[in-house]
Structure 1
């Protein structure tokens, strides 16, 4: 079954540099999809095309069967929320003010700030764990705190689709697992989550659909238990490993081989 958000035969490029060619992706509705792969394989570029920020050179990205470029920015932003990497907050803005910007797609020239907006902002800050930081300037926060503030902003948008590019960046291990559990809960409540993740073990534990990429192409896509094995990890990451059941969840868990570890110890810098 075709999902609401699709990429069909797209070529994605920055100027003359082609990142992906003839790429086709069907995002399952109501699922938590994790996009994994080595650095610079095209993961973030794919999310940018879904978010209407990068127009394909060929092919098309569609939402509800309509090219995303045909939507007005506010209209698509009421359906699809996007958290990219490397965001920089305006100077002297407080966390609550930053999170409130997530309500922008719901505002009109004639509308005023409503109780619904206030509720959405408060709920988003609580979910992201930044309620106690509400009045703090964003620039005064640690990297992990800032990341959680940005996550709260996109949550306040209250979209049916969430696109998150490396959302666990700067987060300590506790907050990583709290965020991934939150995303899984939002999935269970009916939202569709697409996240670029670097930790494949975390992706296998929390996501129910995996898209594995290398060099701008999709190597495999499907449920983690169906596609993740040593051969896939070798092809995608060039990592020799064994895949064993996670002792807690039973999901695939990647463990580098001792031979691979020894090869790293034997390498000399330069």
Structure 2
């Protein structure tokens, strides 16, 4: 397994509240990694540490064998694209203007808006299915529409790594699967995708690599076929279940046994 993004012996905390202690993992390159686990188990905190929005109390995150804190801000933003859970848009901004902000890491004091920037924005809006919303104020959109716009912002950034925290939130079921299919296509194009997902069955269907977390620690990681069974679901989610093959893909499918 090739890996360029790693975490070593992380202790992560907010003030006095410790979320994770001595957490280590490697993110497989060119794969779609899904992180699953119950609420407040440290999934989002881990992503924030990867993109240095949270400084580890101990340990380090490294990209290409260099600590992420050593990268200049724009240089890191050209490598790691991040979609948080609750992004905030400036008041009265329109969709195309917001998506264009994804090009900020590629701008300099001397650069002007280029044809490459315009193409990146157009392609990102098309991929996220928001082209028809380009002229709409973001605050007028539904929650699902806004979520797709934020996905477009990250896509316009054109980074080799995409880190998405609950990207299917607010989306109806059709748009959830369309987004997951898009992430799989980006993986197939050579991107490395890391997504926090709540739906274990969606994670099993689309992920190459699965990380199951509980109480700030990694309980298991590997391919869905290797690690997902009734015992794991009981340990991580306290959910009695039966795991059967998905009738479409053959990947593990969790059926609650309540």
Residues 50-105 of structure 1, C-alpha deviations (whole Å, 9 max, x = no match): 01111110110000000000101100000110000111211110000000000000
Which residue number in structure 1 is paired with residue 77 of structure 2?
77
User: 2:116 aligns to what?
Assistant: 116
**What residue is the counterpart of 2:139 in the other structure?**
139
Q: Which runs of 5+ in 1 are unaligned?
A: 261-270
Give 1 or 2 for the bigger CA radius of gyration.
Answer: 1
1:2-39 Cα offsets, whole Å, 9 max, x none, are 51100000100001100000000100000000000000
Cα distance in 1 for partners of 2:2, 2:47 equals 18
Give the alignment's Cα RMSD to 1 decimal: 0.6
Q: Deviations over 1:234-259 (max 9, x none)?
A: 000000000000000000000011xx
User: Counterpart in 1 of 2:89?
Assistant: 89
Number of positions where the alignment pairs a residue of Structure 1 with one of Structure 2: 258
Instruction: Give the SS at the match of 1:86.
Output: coil
Q: Deviations over 1:96-137 (max 9, x none)?
A: 000000000000000000000000000000000000000000
Counterpart-to-counterpart distance in 2, 1:17 and 1:8:
20
The residue that corresponds to 1:265 in the other structure is none
- TM-score under structure 2 length normalisation: 0.99
Q: Which residue of 2 aligns with 1:266?
A: none
Q: Which aligned segments of 4 or more residues in structure 1 are displaced greater than 6 angstroms? A: none
What are the Cα deviations for residues 121-170 of structure 1, in whole angstroms up to 9, with x where unaligned? 00000000000000000000000000000000000000000000000000
Q: Does structure 1 residue 159 correspond to structure 2 residue 159?
A: yes
**CA distance in 2: counterparts of 1:91 and 1:22, whole angstroms:** 40
